Structure 1
Amino acid sequence: MSDLTTEEKATLKTAVFGAVYLVSDADPGFFAMLRESFAASGVLAGATGLVKEVLTTGPLPRLPRGSAAEVEALVLPALAQSVAILREKAPAELDNYQAAVVAAVEQAAGASHGVNAREADALTKVKTAVGVVTDPTITSE
């Protein structure tokens, strides 16, 4: 379906799963994280096109087991790199990818007791990294 390399697909997949993890990790508690992960997985299961191909093939991504800062240091650049990959190799899929990422993290954030300040911060970082700017003071490329 696509001419993406295995490494490029892994980058896209790591970015999506990592973005959901960042938002879920911002809401303390095991059950909150579980609810949020299920909410995001529902969105991702409904993905189409290249996004569905990327999310349903290959191994699950490995995220750092350290601090949120370590995960963020991997995931945010992976999101930006994913956008660049799609712009170059599958521009027709870019909007689909961005929409899937944003919908998944928004569902995760709202799944347990609303969106707290840490989740809102994570949402902003993810949306900015994927190129969906929500702050009018931030300009896109």
Structure 2
Amino acid sequence: MELIIMSLTLTDQDKATLRTAAYGAVTLLAAADVTGSPHKAATAGSLALYSATGPVGHVLAEKKSGVGLDGKSVAGIADHVLPTLTSSMGLLKQQDPAEAGNFRNAVLVAVEAAARAHKGEPSPTAAEMTRKITAALDAA
């Protein structure tokens, strides 16, 4: 039995989009968690993303600039991040559905880590933002 591993062919712009989507989801959750410590949430989520594996893990671990987040409010950040999550999933599904699943899981683990960074339980606000992030990931 031959094992075939599909490789991703991603431009620098594609990689920046994936990083913006993933780190943007963590930023969005940290900004929305009004009861916790945003810096703790951001740190926990970022460390989880940095621990991702596979081709997606390599992209997320790259120390490159280009994670561009527009918006000075939670709504402004969400307007940028949620569609970027959906487009990232679409891009990955076209090239390698398994890596799309890997990306989805990495983002959700990071979001959960960020949500639980304060007192171990997500606030209602964090839980609702997690639902919106999950919906954006599943919209592609």
Q: Please, what TM-score do these two structures have when normalized by structure 2?
A: 0.86
> 1:92-137: per-residue Cα shift (whole Å, max 9, x none)?
2111101000000011001113211111111000011111xxxxxx
SS at match of 2:38: helix
The answer as to 2:14 corresponding to 1:14 is: no
Identity, % of aligned pairs?
36
Partner-residue secondary structure (3-state), 2:13 = helix
Q: Which moved more, 1:104-113 or 1:53-62?
A: 53-62
Tell me the equivalent position of 2:42.
37
Kindly state the Cα deviation for residue 26 of structure 1 after the two structures are TM-superposed.
1.3
Q: Please say if 1:93 is aligned against 2:99.
A: yes
Comparing 100-109 with 52-61, greater Cα deviation is found at 52-61
**Secondary structure, aligned partner of 2:56:** helix
Q: CA deviation at 1:65?
A: 4.2
List per-residue Cα deviations over 1:75-105 (Å, max 9, x = no partner).
0000000000001122221111010000000
Shift of 1:43: 1.3
Residue 60 of structure 1 deviates from its aligned partner by 4.5
Structure 2: state its 5+ residue gaps. Answer: 1-6
Aligned match of 1:135: none
Which digits, 9 at most, give the CA deviation of each residue in 1:27-81, with x for residues without a partner? 237x711111221122112111122221122324021241111110110000000
Aligned CA-pair RMSD: 1.8
What corresponds to 2:76 in structure 1? 70
Q: Aligned partners of 1:91, 1:65: CA distance in 2, in Å?
A: 31
- 4+ residue stretches of structure 1 with deviation over 4 A? none
Paired with 2:80 and 2:22, the residues of 1 have a C-alpha distance of 12
Matches within 5 A, 1:123-138: 123-131=130-138
Query: Structure 1 regions of 5+ residues with no counterpart?
Result: 132-139
Counterpart Cα distance in 2 of 1:39 and 1:67? 21
Secondary structure of the corresponding residue to residue 37 of structure 2: helix
